[in-house]
Structure 1
Amino acid sequence: MKKWFSSAIVFTVLAVLVAGCAGGNTKSGTSESVDANKGEKKPVIKILQNKIEITDKVKAMVADYNAYNPDVVVEVQVVKDYLTMLKTRFASGDAPDIFTTAGYNPMASWSDKLVDLSNEPWMGSVSPLTIEGMTMNGQKMGFPLAFEGFGVVYNKDLFAQAGIDTPPTTFSELKAAAEKLKAAGIKPYKEAYQEGFPLYHILNLGFAYEQDPLATLAKLEKQEMKLADLPFLNNVFDVLDLGMKYGEGQESLGVSYDSQVSDFATGKIAMINNGVWTIDPITKVNADINIGMFALPLTDNAEETKMPISVPGYYVINKDSKHVEESKKFLSWLHENGEKYLVDSFKFFPAFTDIKATDDLGPLAKDMAAYVESGKGITWTQSAWPVGYREDTVKRIQAYIGGQGDREQTIAELQKDWDNRVNK
C-alpha cells in the first residue's frame, strides 16, 4: 500500500458524479425508449448516484453522450437518501444499470451483483491506489471516479499575522501554532462536531498510521488484538482535545459543517480539520481567500505526519442489467473524455494515470498532491471497518467530547461496538 501511494498522484474535491434525469423521450422505469421520429426502441442506461453538488454539470455531460450516441439513452437519478433508494430499486425490480459505491466493505456487500471490469480497456490506466478497494475475489469491479483527502485547511494570511511562517509538521508545532494564533487575537479553531464525518476521519488516523493498516484490521477482526493496542489511538484524543481547547469546547457538538465553513471563509477562524471538498463552499463565500492544506500531525515525529487520501466512490455495473455492454461503453467514453468532464467540468482530481489534473483544481489539490508525490499518503481505513462501525464511532466520540466518558472508557465502548459488528 505504501508503494502505491508513492507511485500515484492522487486526490480531489469531493468525488461522486451526480445528476437528475435526462433525456426528454425516456420512459422512467423501462429499459427501452422509443424514438418518436423512427419508431425504434433504444436501450436506456439508468444511473443512480448520491451527490447533488454538480447536478447541472452532469446533466450537460449526459446530454453530450446522448447527442453523440443516438442509439442509446442515458438516464441519471440523484437522491440524498442514496442507500435506501438503491436497496428499494433493487427490491422493486427497477435496479439501476450503473450505480456508485465506496470500495472495500461497501463494495463487497454488493459484489455478487456486479460485473467484472478487469478486462476493460481503461483498467490499465487506473491509479494503483484504486485497485485494492475495488478488487473482490480477484475481480476488479469499479470505475474510480476521483481521489480526495483529509487534513487541516488553514488561512495563510491569518497564519502570517500570527507570525507562523510554515505549516506545522508535528503535534507540538500544531499546538504552538494554536497558541500563537490565540495570542494574536485570532481564533484558531471551530470544529464541526455536530457532523459525524470529521470525527471518523480523525479516528482513522489511529488505524492508518499503522505500518500495515489492513493487516492490523485483520488482527482486530480476528480478535487477535484490541483497539487499546493501537499505539497511535491515544494521539487521536490529543487532536480532539486540542480542537476543543482552542475552539468551541463542548459547544463544538452544536457546530454544523455549514457554520464552520462560513466562519472560516469569512476569516473568523484560522484552521478547520476537514477535506479538499471544502474548496467550493469556501470560495463561493470568499473567492479571494488565501488558503492551503497540511496533513494533521499526530505525533512529534515529522516523518510520521501523512495525509489520508482515498477513492470515495466507484461506478459499478449491475450484472443483471439488460444493457451491460452499453453500460461498459458509457464508462469507456467517460474515461476517454475524462479531462473534459471529470477534471475541467466537475473539478475532480483524476484517479487515472492518463488523465491530467489542472491548476484550476485549486490550492488544496496542489498542497495534497505534494504529499502524494513525496510518498506521504496513507489510506482511509474507515472504508474497511466492519459495516456500521463508522456510525458507531461517531456516537462514542461525541459522547467523549460532551464529557460523558474519559479516554479509557471511550476506547472500551469503541471496542464493544467493534466486537458487536465483527461477531454479527
Structure 2
Amino acid sequence: MTRRCLRMLTVVGLLLALSACGFGRSEGQTRFGDGIGADQEEQSGTVIKLYNFKVEMSEQLDALVKLYAKETGVNIEVETCGGGCDYGAGLKTRFNSGDRPDIFFVAGYSDLNLWQEHLEDLSDQPWTSDMLELTKPAITKDGVIYGMPLVIEGWGFVYNKALFRQAGIAELPVTLTELRETAVKLKAAGIQPFENGYAERWVVGNHLVNVAFALQPDPIAYVEDVRTGREKLTGNPVLRKWTDLIDLTVEFGQPNPLQTDYTSQVANFANGKAAMMQQGVWVQGMMDKLNPGMDIGLLPMPINDDRAAMDKLQVGVPNYWVVSRSSKVKREAKTFLNWLVSSAEGRKFFADVKFIPPFKSIPFSKEQIGPLAADVETYIEQNKILPWMWQRYPGYEANTYQMAVHVQSYIGKRIGQEQLFQDLQSTWDDFASE
C-alpha cells in the first residue's frame, strides 16, 4: 500500500519541468504492435507467472488476464500479495526457492539496484518512447530501462467535502496553521477531524516519513548527504516542523491510532466517522464500494505556513512491471506487457483501476479516474508536486520498516522528539554502512 526530458536533473527539477517535458497526452489510440496472432497457435498453453504487488487492482487484473487468455491462449497465473503480506520478503523467498515469477514488480532506485541482475533489459520495447518523463528516472540505470511503469499515484489528506461543508469550512487548508484551524472547526461541529491508520508501517514509514524528506530544500542531495554522513537527521529544522504535523493529527484524531489498520481506517472514513485521513488515490476503488459517489478530494500535508511550499501533493510511480531475465517465457511476458499498453482492452484497465495512466498516448478524463486521481492530475498540471524519496533510502524496505517503528513509538508517546531523531539517525547509520 509501495514501496532522471532533462538528462538526469534532480527529481525536483524534473518535477518542476513536467509540463514542458510532455506530461500532456495525445488523443486517440497508439498501437505499438503486440505481436498477437502471428504465433498464437504456438503460444497456446503457455503459462506466465505474475506476482502482483497491488492488492487494490487485483480484481481488475484477474479479469484482464482472463480476457488475455481468451484472446491469445496464453494463461497468466496471478498471485497477489495482500492482507499484510510483505511483498519484498515474498519475492526473495520465491527467487531463493527457484519458484521465480516471470513478471513481478520493483519500485525503482534502491529497489532497482537490488534486483537489477535478475531483470530483463526492456529498452527496446516500443512503449518506452511513450512513457511520461516522470516515470523514467527510477527504473533507468546506465541508460537501460528495466521496467514498465504501473501507474502514477499521489497522496495527501483525503477529505470528506460534505463534512467540511457541515462544519462551515469554505477555504481548504494549505498551511499548518490553516490545517489546525480546520481541525478546530470540525471538532466544534462534533466531527472527528482525522482518522489515522498508524498501525500500518507503510503508512508511517513510507508516506508519513516521506513528508520530512520531500520538503527539504534539496531532497535528493539531503538523502545522499545523510547516507554518506555529511548531514544528520538530528537537528534538522524540517524534521522538527514535521513532528508538528504528526502531533496535530494525533491530537485531533481517534483514540489509539496505533491500533487502526488500513482496512479499518478507510472503512471508518467511508462511513463518515472522520473528515480526513492520510491516504492516496489507491483508496478510490475501496471507497466506491463502501460509499459510492462519496464527495471526496485530496489536500496537501503541510508542516509550516509557507503557502507556496506547502501547497503540493506527493506524486510518483509506486511500482514497475519487470520481466525476469531467467524466465523461459520472457518473450511471451513482453508481449503481454505490450498488449497491456497498446490494446483497447489493456488501456481500459488503467481507467478501471482508477489510477493515472503513465503513458502519453493513453487518453483519459478526470471523471474516469475518480476525484482523488483527478485532484492529483490537477496538481501535476500546475507543477505543484513533491517527489517520493523512500525509494532512494539505503536499505529501502527494511529502512522504512525500522523508521516506522520509531515513529510509532513517538506517536504512542513512548519516546520524545529528541529520542525519535536519534533513533532515526541510528537506523540510517546502520543501513548506510552496509
Q: Is the shorter-chain TM-score for this pair beyond 0.5, marking a shared fold?
A: yes
Alignment of 1:4-403 (within 5 A): 4-6=14-16, 7=18, 42-70=45-73, 72-80=74-82, 81=85, 82-200=87-205, 201-248=207-254, 251-305=256-310, 306-337=312-343, 340-358=347-365, 359-387=367-395, 388-403=398-413
The residue number in structure 2 matching 1:406 is: 416
Aligned partners of 1:184 and 1:73: how far apart in 2?
Answer: 54
Would the aligned equivalents of 1:127 and 1:351 in 2 still touch at CA under 8 Å?
A: yes
Aligned partners of 2:353 and 2:257: how far apart in 1?
Answer: 32
- How many aligned residue pairs are there? 396
Would the aligned equivalents of 1:97 and 1:317 in 2 still touch at CA under 8 Å?
A: yes
Using the TM superposition, give the Cα deviation of residue 119 of structure 1 relative to its aligned residue in structure 2, in angstroms. 2.2
Instruction: Tell me the SS of whatever aligns to 2:198.
Output: coil
Would the aligned equivalents of 1:342 and 1:348 in 2 still touch at CA under 8 Å?
A: no
Counterpart check, 1:415 vs 2:425: yes
Instruction: Tell me the SS of whatever aligns to 1:187.
Output: coil
What is the one-letter code of the residue matched to 2:66? Answer: A
Sequence identity (%) = 36
Would the aligned equivalents of 1:202 and 1:236 in 2 still touch at CA under 8 Å?
A: no
> Which consecutive residues of structure 1, in runs of 5 or more, have no partner in the other structure?
11-34
Instruction: Tell me the SS of whatever aligns to 1:151.
Output: strand
- TM score, norm. by length of structure 2: 0.85
Aligned partners of 1:376 and 1:420: how far apart in 2?
Answer: 34
The residue number in structure 2 matching 1:25 is: none
The residue number in structure 2 matching 1:28 is: none
What is the one-letter code of the residue matched to 1:402? Answer: G
Aligned partners of 1:329 and 1:384: how far apart in 2?
Answer: 30
CA distance 1:343–1:299, change in 2 (3 Å): same
RMSD over aligned Cα, in angstroms? 2.2
What is the one-letter code of the residue matched to 2:423? Answer: E
What is the one-letter code of the residue matched to 2:77? Answer: E
> Which consecutive residues of structure 2, in runs of 5 or more, have no partner in the other structure?
1-10, 24-39
CA-to-partner distance for each residue in 1:29-79, whole Å, 9 max, x for gaps? Answer: xxxxxx9xx999754332222334443432332233233334x44333334
Identify which range, 339-348 or 262-271, moves more after superposition.
Answer: 339-348
The residue number in structure 1 matching 2:29 is: none
Would the aligned equivalents of 1:193 and 1:254 in 2 still touch at CA under 8 Å?
A: yes
- TM score, norm. by length of structure 1: 0.87
